[in-house]
């Protein structure tokens, strides 16, 4: 959808829901451009969690009293709301975890240790986050499986011809990031799912940077597993989501054991609760689930098409301004339909960490480092990069503040 077709956001109204954006340091107002790491949390989400603690706080699925019943309903309805948001077929396909990383580990241990062995292959991409790369690397080492990597070409996109070579009848799992947290690349995950399924493989999609920023339909993608985190989508920390096709989740053994995920326990054996509870042992993140539901409501009230258009417009503006400077190296595709709302770059002769420190002096919060993609940075030939990432409350004026900080760094190191 073109930006012209999408109504622009009322950023002034939106910003009023984020008191943290009014913070100032040494008299200079904060510019927060580290949204790919964690977005800020609006008042409606904070209020929903506060109301839960003030009015409903109790453990779920274990009590007959009123508070426990109310908490259980709220927790279950959060699953329903998230399922609807991503196009899942009911709460049975939505497992709450701590974050995307735990979702990846749940599948890697519950499915990988059971199904992988010598001769099997796990196919990743060279742009994978460590949550995917390290996890499958270690599971492969335990099981004797081989890990293969789909190449990233010089434009920052996946080499799809190489993808078709890598994914074979020996491939058991394809794990791919939907939107790269370093390059901003939006990968053709539905096409990759088709290729994987043609070879009898499953596909796991890391949607940590996608669900917060664009409409996502897991059924349309035909993902077998899909994961994302609350804290990157205006929600609370400490809660993530694992979507899995129901028939696959039903066949999986639990990854963690304890109370809350059992049906019956004897001294000799145990049986498991129905989905999704068999993958949610112990006291869950109930308040965080309430907050996640509120975040979904909040984003849908804005409209995910508008969220996507707004952040991509800001990223395109930042990219185009930086591309006009002869001493800035930019990573990932040029602005377009296969680029999301972040910009990673380096300023010549200035280490990314030094640049981030200077930006902090200007009260502009950006990220610097390898962004949990060390192998990708090795391929790019740099130790680190700076990253500015945008969300619904950011403005063009804040991008200009970013550019001013970069100019100061340029002058300081010249």
pLDDT digits (tens, 9 = 90+) for 246-261: 999 999 999 999 999 9
H or E segment at 73?
helix 66-86
379-402 average pLDDT score: 98
Instruction: Give the start-to-end residue ranges of the domains of the chain.
Output: 3-32+304-413, 46-300
Q: What is the pLDDT of residue 326?
A: 92
Q: Collapsing DSSP states into helix, strand and coil, what is residue 50?
A: helix
Please give the CATH topology (third level) of the domain spanning 3-32+304-413: 3.90.1150
Looking at residues 120-130, what average pLDDT do you find?
98
- Give Cβ neighbours of residue 224 (< 8 Å, ≥ 6 apart): 193, 202, 203, 204, 244, 245, 248
Q: Give the mean pLDDT of the chain.
A: 97
Provide the pLDDT confidence category of residue 5 given band limits of 50, 70 and 90.
low
Distance CA 213, CA 309 (A): 9
Helix/strand/coil for 256:
coil
CB-based contact 257:281 (threshold 8 Å): yes
Residue 140 and residue 146 in contact, taking contact as beta carbons nearer than 8 Å: yes
**CATH architecture, range 46-300:** 3-Layer(aba) Sandwich (3.40)
Give the model confidence (pLDDT) of 288-315 as tens digits. Answer: 999 999 999 999 999 999 999 999 999 9
The tokens 């409501």 sit on which residue? 297
* DSSP character at residue 252: S
Specify the pLDDT at position 1: 39
**pLDDT digits 0-9 by tens, 392-408:** 999 999 999 999 999 99
Q: Give the position of tokens 């009848």.
A: 169
Of 234, 215, 192, 203, the residue nearest 48 (C-alpha): 234
pLDDT in tens, 53-109: 999 999 999 789 999 999 999 999 999 999 999 999 999 999 999 999 999 999 999
Write the pLDDT tens digit of every residue in 206-235: 999 999 999 999 999 999 999 999 999 999
pLDDT value of residue 159: 98
Output the CA angle 341-342-347, nearest 5 degrees.
Answer: 150
Q: What's the DSSP call for residue 19? A: G
- Is residue 7 very low, low, confident or very high in pLDDT (cuts 50, 70, 90)? confident
Phi, psi at residue 342, to the nearest 5°?
-145, 160
Question: Coil, helix or strand for 87?
Answer: coil
Distance between CA atoms of 390 and 40, rounded to whole angstroms? Answer: 11
Q: Around Cβ 23, how many Cβ atoms within 10 Å?
A: 10
Residues with a known catalytic role? 372
């Amino acid at each position: 959808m073109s930006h012209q077709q999408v109504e622009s956001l009322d950023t002034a109204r939106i910003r009023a829901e984020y008191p943290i954006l009014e913070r100032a340091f040494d008299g200079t107002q904060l510019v927060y451009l580290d949204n790919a790491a964690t977005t800020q949390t609006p008042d409606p989400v904070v209020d929903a969690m506060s109301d839960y603690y003030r009015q409903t706080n109790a453990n779920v699925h274990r009590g007959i009293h009123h508070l426990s019943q109310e908490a259980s309903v709220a927790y279950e309805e959060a699953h329903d709301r998230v399922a609807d948001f991503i196009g899942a077929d009911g709460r049975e396909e939505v497992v709450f975890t701590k974050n995307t990383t735990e979702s990846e580990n749940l599948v890697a241990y519950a499915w990988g240790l059971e199904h992988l062995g010598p001769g099997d292959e796990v196919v990743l991409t060279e742009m994978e986050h460590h949550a995917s790369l390290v996890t499958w690397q270690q599971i492969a080492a335990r099981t004797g499986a081989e890990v293969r990597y789909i190449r990233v070409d010089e434009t920052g996109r996946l080499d799809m011809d190489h993808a078709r070579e890598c994914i074979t009848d020996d491939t058991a799992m394809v794990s791919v990031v939907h939107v790269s947290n370093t390059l901003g690349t939006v990968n053709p995950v539905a096409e990759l799912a088709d290729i994987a399924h043609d070879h009898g493989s499953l596909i796991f999609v890391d949607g940590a940077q996608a669900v917060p920023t664009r409409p996502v339909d897991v059924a349309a993608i035909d993902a077998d597993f899909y994961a994302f985190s609350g804290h990157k989508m205006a929600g609370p920390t400490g809660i993530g989501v694992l979507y899995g096709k129901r028939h696959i989740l039903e066949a999986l053994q639990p990854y963690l054991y304890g109370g809350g995920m059992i049906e019956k326990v004897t001294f000799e054996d145990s049986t498991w609760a129905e989905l999704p509870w068999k993958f949610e042992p112990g006291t869950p993140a109930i308040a965080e689930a309430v907050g996640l539901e509120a975040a979904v409501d909040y984003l849908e009230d804005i409209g995910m098409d508008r969220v996507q258009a707004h952040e991509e417009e800001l990223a395109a503006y930042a990219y185009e301004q930086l591309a006009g400077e002869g001493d800035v190296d930019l990573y990932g595709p040029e602005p377009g339909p296969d680029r999301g709302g972040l910009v990673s770059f380096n300023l010549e002769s200035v280490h990314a960490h030094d640049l981030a420190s200077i930006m902090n002096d200007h009260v502009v919060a950006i990220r610097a480092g390898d962004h949990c993609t060390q192998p990708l940075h090795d391929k790019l030939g740099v130790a680190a990069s700076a990253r500015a990432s945008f969300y619904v409350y950011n403005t063009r004026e804040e991008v200009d503040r970013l550019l001013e900080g970069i100019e100061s760094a340029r002058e300081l190191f010249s």
